[in-house]
Structure 1
Amino acid sequence: MFEKQFVHNIKNHPMKKSALLILLFVLGSALLFSQNMDEKNGPWRSTYPDGSVKSTGQFNHNIPYGEFIHYYKSGIKQSVTVFDNQGIQARNSTWYESGNLMAEGKYINKQKDSTWSYYGDSIDQLIAVEQYAKGKLEGKSITYYPGTKQATEVILYHNGIKQGDLRKYFPNGQVMTEGTYLNGKLEGLFTLYYPDGSTQLKGIYKNGEQAGEWKYYSITGKEITYEEFIYQQSTSIEADDPDKSGEKIQPF
């Protein structure tokens, strides 16, 4: 039930689609480092309950080396991991059952490291690029509109926590949102734009909460609403605007 609802919620949303595909890869690749590590030497393989091959590889006193291959139950290749440096480092490529590339990147000491790239199945196109250090996001993380080279979101991480500039984009490349993260929470000026580049709203975040005066603008650039946020309470004051549709603009 949870899986059905989860898939339903991400339908037709490029950023959430990217998140789902990355999650599916993480769940699948966990098999790589979750095998029973009883004493293993030489060629090795594991099987599914029906006897079909699940994984093949080779060990030297429990240290994996060379090429390991994992298969779907259908017999189609799922991933190839090549170990070197006494099993400390490994390069991984993972495919969908369709044969399209899902993800590729590097492990060091069983943790993601350096650049990881993720791809969509139906379009076989790059959908996200992430940077890792010791298993945690580190540096720039980019998601893309499917089938394009246009980023949907660019965000910075440090030690697995959002830290630094945030930018989201419209499909035409125009900036949609600008903000800053401090220790995982929005901090400072936050701006939302219309597709033509004009400002839709702007305000200040403090410790992840809206604070002070937030201003809302019409597409023509006229201020139509502002809100004053004090201790998580707000008072909305409407400006006189004959062009206003009557529907309040929301920041999210």
Structure 2
Amino acid sequence: MKNFIVTLFLVMPILITAQTINQLDENGKRHGIWKKNFDNTNIIRYQGEFNHGKEIGLFEFYKNINKTAVLTATKQFNEHDNKAKVTFFASNGKVISTGLMDGKNYIGEWIYYHKDSKQVMTVEHYNNQGQLEGESLVYYNSGQLAEKRIYKANVINGKAIWFNESGKKLKEYNYLNGELHGEAKFYNAAGTIEIEGQYKNDRKDGVWKYYKDGELTEEKDFTRYSKNPYLKKD
């Protein structure tokens, strides 16, 4: 009898815990603390809290790596909408990226980090539809800006610039609705102009100029003329 009481005393907390998690409300919606394991294992897959079907507070998500639960993401929800502050982790615990999500859409500013480093690698901005919008910046591990692009509704537009690790320009393009269109320039490692010209509808157009040590050495005409013999050349 004494052994039975001791066993019951040890088992009761487990039974009580099991009865207070993974519960549904009167409308069949998840409510309270929920914890789920990977199928046919005791390895946790996620845990968090619901308020009548809505996620609230901190949720943690795991991967099953060699039969061990490894944290892969956290989502911090609020009580008012579906937006959450999200952080993704590598298997060694280092942060991969962080930003906001609205449902499955990335929104607002997202920051990505270099592997095994706290140094920012990429900064992107998303609109409320989950599309790239505004500046997209890429950095070297040193912190020096490497690329700068501008997006509109997920399509690259405007001027894009690439830099070397010394901060000198390597090249610059102009885009219109995802196509090269407008002025283009290329520089050597010292930042001196080497090539310049124009693109039109994603193809070289007009006169392109080539330089050596800053001096013009060659010109090439990429103007496309109509094959119609009745049309005059510009």
Which TM-score bucket, shorter chain as reference? 0.7 to 0.9
Q: Which has the higher contact order (CA 8 A, sep 6+)?
A: 1
Q: What amino acid maps onto 2:51 in structure 1?
A: N
Displacement of 1:142? 0.2
Where structure 1 has 5 or more consecutive residues not aligned to the other structure, the ranges are 1-37, 233-252
Give the superposition deviation at 1:100.
Answer: 1.1
Structure 2 unaligned residues grouped into runs of 5+:
1-27, 226-234
- Is 1:42 the equivalent of 2:32? yes
Equivalent residue number for residue 76 of structure 1: 70
Change (3 A) 1:193 1:128: same
Secondary structure of the residue that 1:136 maps to in structure 2?
coil
User: Which deviations, in whole Å up to 9, do the C-alpha atoms of 1:69-113 show, x marking residues without a partner?
Assistant: 011223222111011143421001111111111111011243211
Q: Identify the residue that residue 153 of structure 1 maps to in structure 2.
A: 147
Bigger Rg, structure 1 or 2: 2
* CA distance in structure 1 between the aligned counterparts of 2:95 and 2:103, rounded to whole angstroms: 24
CA contact (8 A) 2:119 2:143 kept: no
Which residue number in structure 2 is paired with residue 212 of structure 1? 206
Distance 1:100 1:125 in 2: 11
Alignment of 1:163-174 (within 5 A): 163-174=157-168
The root-mean-square deviation of aligned C-alpha atoms, in Å, is: 1.9
Write the mapping of 1:95-114 to structure 2, written as runs, cut at 5 A.
95-114=89-108
TM-score (norm 2): 0.76
Hey, which of these two has a bigger chunk of strand by percent? Answer: 2
- Number of corresponding residues: 193
For residues 103 and 122 of structure 1, the distance between their equivalents in structure 2, rounded to whole angstroms, comes to 12
Q: 1:98, 1:87 → 2: CA distance?
A: 32
State TM-score, norm by structure 1. Answer: 0.71
Counterpart for residue 7 of structure 1: none
Whole-angstrom CA distance in 2 between matches of 1:48 and 1:230:
62
Q: Deviations over 1:151-197 (max 9, x none)?
A: 11000111111111211101100111122211111211100111112
* Matched residue, 1:52: 43
Does the 8 Å contact 2:113/2:122 carry over to 1? yes
1:109-157 C-alpha deviation (Å, 9 max, x unpaired): 4321111000122333210001111201111100111x22111100011
Cα 1:199–1:58 shift into 2, 3 Å:
same
Is residue 2:80 matched to residue 1:86? yes
Amino acid at match of 1:56: Q
- Identical-pair percentage: 27
2:219 corresponds in structure 1 to 226
CA contact (8 A) 1:41 1:62 kept: yes
Are the counterparts in 2 of residues 139 and 158 from structure 1 also a CA contact under 8 Å? yes
**1:123 pairs with 117, 121, 125, which one?**
117
Q: Distance in 2 between matches of 1:223 and 1:109?
A: 55
Distance 1:39 1:224 in 2: 74
